[in-house]
Amino acid sequence: MESTVEPLEGNKVKLSIAVTESEFETDIDDAFKRIAREVRLPGFRPGKAPRKVLEARIGLEHARIEALERALPKYYLEAIDEHDVDVIAQPEWEITAGQESGDVAFDATVEVRPVVNAGGYASLRVEIPSPDVT
């Protein structure tokens, strides 16, 4: 997985994340395993249908869509940890490549915690009145 961070206006950043097809293939395998638990095929126990049979019956597209739904947040969190981004809101996703096949690339635009620079307070003087004890 490769990722880059691009600062935007208004305390936002754009994370561009690219995942190779071979790395994403494990997510597709996991999606087929989840689908196998839900689908009943004659001749196979529930959850035991092989991937090739499932792929022939329901197609690779269905598993790829489910893999994208589950894997994008995982890769997004890895990119946040890698670049030490302090997010404060949910991201806006945009899949830029790989919806049909091949390498997967997506952008996540997210709001980050603003950086506050409080300067000029060192020269201020505060006078504390001494309390009168009675």
Q: How far is CA 61 from the centre of its chain?
A: 21
Domain ranges (residues) in the chain: 2-111
Highest mean pLDDT among 6-15, 31-40, 94-103, 124-133: 6-15
Three-class secondary structure of residue 38 per DSSP: helix
Query: CA 29 to CA 66: how far, in whole Å?
Result: 11
pLDDT tens readout for residues 84-97: 999 999 999 999 99
Q: Which residue, 27, 20, 57, is CA-closest to 42?
A: 57
Q: Report the chain's mean pLDDT, rounded to a whole number.
A: 89
- Give the pLDDT confidence score for residue 133 in this predicted structure: 85
| Mean pLDDT value across residues 55-78 | 90
What is the C-alpha to C-alpha distance for residues 116 and 93, in angstroms, rounded to an integer? Answer: 27
Band the pLDDT of 16: cuts 50, 70, 90: very high
Q: What is the pLDDT of residue 73?
A: 94
Which class in CATH covers the domain with range 2-111? alpha beta
Residue 21 CB partners (closer than 8 Å, separation 6+): 98, 101, 102, 103, 104
